[in-house]
Structure 1
Amino acid sequence: MKQGRGLICAATAAQHPSDLTTLIEPVRDKVDVVEIRLDLMAQPEVANCITCLPDIPLLFTNRPLWEGGKYSGTEKDRITVLQDAIAADVAYIDIELDTDTKLRNEVILAAKDRQTAVIVSNHNFTETPTTQVLEDTLQHMMDSGADIGKIVTTAQEPADVIRVLSLLQLSQANQFQLSAFCMGAVGRISRLATLYLGGCMSYVAVDDLSATAPGQFTTEQFHSLIHLFENNEH
């Protein structure tokens, strides 16, 4: 990560841990974190994922159906896998803000005694809520005890992007780390802008075939934009 810029996270959609090495090796020097979507795997094998990618910070996510993911089992089982990741001292885990409060608190408390940072997230795949709703969501995240917040909406117009990015000013005023950007074609600019406006992390696809959200850039595309922006070439 360059000083003054947020982290770049490669989101993966691998079905098996053995696929991770092949996916990440070509972009290893271009990303800071790798997100492993356990809900997209044939089996959520935390230990094997760690073995396959031992030298890069890992973020484990087990996204349920009700938040746009593929996990369809019980909430208890879903959370147990995240607890396994925490016990293994992975760098990050992601748990949804709308997770049952008791279960969410158990995850956050478990992480306090380990080396894992907890990202509490909220995704809206249809729209961007009002400023009041967004700010209330951010406040709930700050009150949750998590280390980092993640607010991602779907932008229908430029004003949506501005509302979401403005959350970064509020989070910084409260000394709370936040990833905030928009999905969709209109929101693509926010994926780059957030890195330079105080956003904690932005997510990229490894390649054209492995996007996990609408509007994701590939790693190569994203680095081309970063190069142009940071080198001020004419």
Structure 2
Amino acid sequence: MVTRGLICASVMAGESTDILAAVSSVAALADVIEIRLDGLRDPRIASCIASLPKPVLVTNRPTWEGGRFTGSEKERIDLLCQALQWGARYVDIELLAAPDLRARIQRKAKKHGAQVIISNHDFQGTPNAEHLRATLQQMTSSGADIGKIVTTAASPEDALRILSLQEVAMAAHFPLSAFAMGAHGAISRLATLYLGGFMTYAALSPEQATAPGQITVQNLYTLLSLLEQNP
């Protein structure tokens, strides 16, 4: 039996009712559903979380890290805390967020039995190995349950460099999702699942991708099925 990481279907929608409709066709193929609160006009999603058949990850990505949320940091964290009260099993908070806000999320998640993903995204490129390892060290020291480091690959070397971070994370027994965006990074979204990666993120459709180079849930599942078929 091949051991691999989880598949997370990432959803960016304007209304919570749109999330339920969009996820229905791929829910059986995903292990986790990510709801991007920064895409919702009304982020009160208690009933939506309760209705989804898979564990929910909530993300409220600010504009300063590639998202759409434009309010204050307090408002942003308040929404994430509410989602934890409503039953989200995972919550994403950026490594660059203020330490006191990260600590608040961690306390709330612990209270509700959820896990905290501390994330870092680089939309410009892929730093050198020393920089990547330093970022990973910050995550492990922060008390994160899971880390997420995503870069942008301009070459095959970039994709290999971000994937090599998984070896460091495994040696530290730290769950990590590490892969790259962009055309050169697409293979890393698949490969990370078999190289110790905790989770990869997939789109509902090409039009609904929440990051450059994101593979659709259906296409990713097809690739996984080919790789895991018995001889």
Which TM class, normalised by the smaller chain length?
Answer: over 0.9
2:124 match: secondary structure: coil
Question: Counterparts of 1:109 and 1:169 in 2: how far apart (Å)?
Answer: 29
Does 224-233 or 114-123 show the bigger shift? 224-233
1:109-159 deviation line (CA, Å, top 9, x unaligned): 221222110000000111001111100100000011110000000000111
Structure 2 contact 49–87 (Cα < 8 Å) conserved: no
The alignment of Structure 1 onto Structure 2 pairs a total of residues equal to: 231
CA positional deviation for 1:24 = 0.8
Q: Which residue of 2 aligns with 1:214?
A: 212
Residue of structure 1 in register with 2:61 after alignment: 63
Q: 1:223 aligns with which of 221, 224, 228?
A: 221
> Does the CA contact (< 8 Å) of 2:166 and 2:178 recur in 1?
yes
Correspondence for 2:71 among 70, 73, 91: 73
Question: For the Cα contact (< 8 Å) 1:46–1:81, is it kept in 2?
Answer: no
C-alpha distance in structure 2 between counterparts of 1:106 and 1:18, whole Å:
29
> After superposition, where does 1:1-234 map in structure 2 within 5 Å?
4-53=3-52, 55-231=53-229
SS at match of 1:21: helix
Give structure 1 stretches of 5+ with no counterpart.
none
> How far 1:23 sits from its partner (Å)?
0.5
Pairwise CA distance, 1:199 = 0.2
Cα distance, 1:228 vs structure 2 = 1.5
Give the drift of 1:3: 5.5
| Deviation >6 Å, runs of 4+ | none
Instruction: For 1:158, give the aligned amino acid.
Output: P
CA distance in 1, matches of 2:180, 2:74: 30
Q: 1:11-35: per-residue Cα shift (whole Å, max 9, x none)?
A: 0011111111210111111000000
Q: Distance in 1 between matches of 2:25 and 2:95?
A: 33
The code of the aligned residue for 2:193 comes to: L
Q: Deviations over 1:93-124 (max 9, x none)?
A: 00000001111111112212221100000001
The answer to whether the 8 Å contact 1:205/1:216 transfers is: yes
Q: 1:3 to 1:89 in 2, by over 3 A?
A: farther
SS across alignment from 1:26: coil
| CA deviation profile, 1:156-207 (whole Å, cap 9, x unmatched) | 0111111111111111111110000000000000000000001000010011
* Alignment check: 8 A CA contact 1:188 1:216 kept: yes
Q: Taking structure 2 as the reference length, what is the TM-score of the superposition?
A: 0.96
More deviation in 3-12 or 84-93? Answer: 84-93
Question: What secondary structure is seen at the aligned counterpart in 2 of 1:179?
Answer: strand
Equivalent-residue separation in structure 2 for 1:208 and 1:225 (angstroms): 16
| TM-score of the superposed pair, with normalisation by structure 1 | 0.95
Distance 1:231 1:214 in 2: 29
Asked if the contact 2:85/2:112 (under 8 Å) is kept, the reply is: yes
Percent identity (aligned): 49
How far, CA to CA, are the matches of 1:188 and 1:232 in structure 2? 25
